[in-house]
Amino acid sequence: MISCQDNKNINTLLPDPLQAGWKGEKVCEVLEDNAKIRVLKCSFAPSVGHEQHQHVPHFGYTLAGSEFEITENNRSRQVDVPTGTYFAKDETTTHHIVNIGNRSAQFLIIEYK
């Protein structure tokens, strides 16, 4: 299980995962949006990332994994994210990621409303 870090100083001006993209291109699409949840599918080819954004409480599942550089709270780390990995957060979080691996990656993000 992988976890995004909490950020106690959430910037409400940051985009959500759907609004954020990479160099002007969207990386996420909506699969479902109803009164209880919003489901996003986010795809990252090698060298593609997700600009700084914030997540509401959510659950995520890795459909196709790769290696990522994750920046949270001004600290970067490299992480291998295998296919089938899941993660969850009960609080709003912020981060910036880049696929530094040589494989395309894809995630399902299920946001609670």
* Per-residue model confidence as pLDDT tens digits over 60-93: 999 999 999 999 989 999 999 999 999 999 999 9
The average pLDDT across 100-105 equals: 98
Q: Give all domains of the chain, ordered by start, each with its CATH number.
A: 21-112 (2.60.120.10)
* Pairwise CA distance, residues 61 & 56, whole Å: 16
Q: How many residues in the chain? A: 113
Task: Name the 3-class secondary structure at 45.
Answer: coil
| DSSP bridge pairs for 106 | 43, 64
Q: What is the mean pLDDT of the chain?
A: 91
Residue 12 pLDDT: 59
Statement: residue 102 has pLDDT above 80: yes
Burial of 75 (0-12, 13-18, 19+ CB in 10 A): exposed
Backbone angle region of 45, left / alpha / beta, with phi > 0 → left and psi within -120 to 50 → alpha: beta
Quick: pLDDT tens for 21-31.
Answer: 999 999 999 99
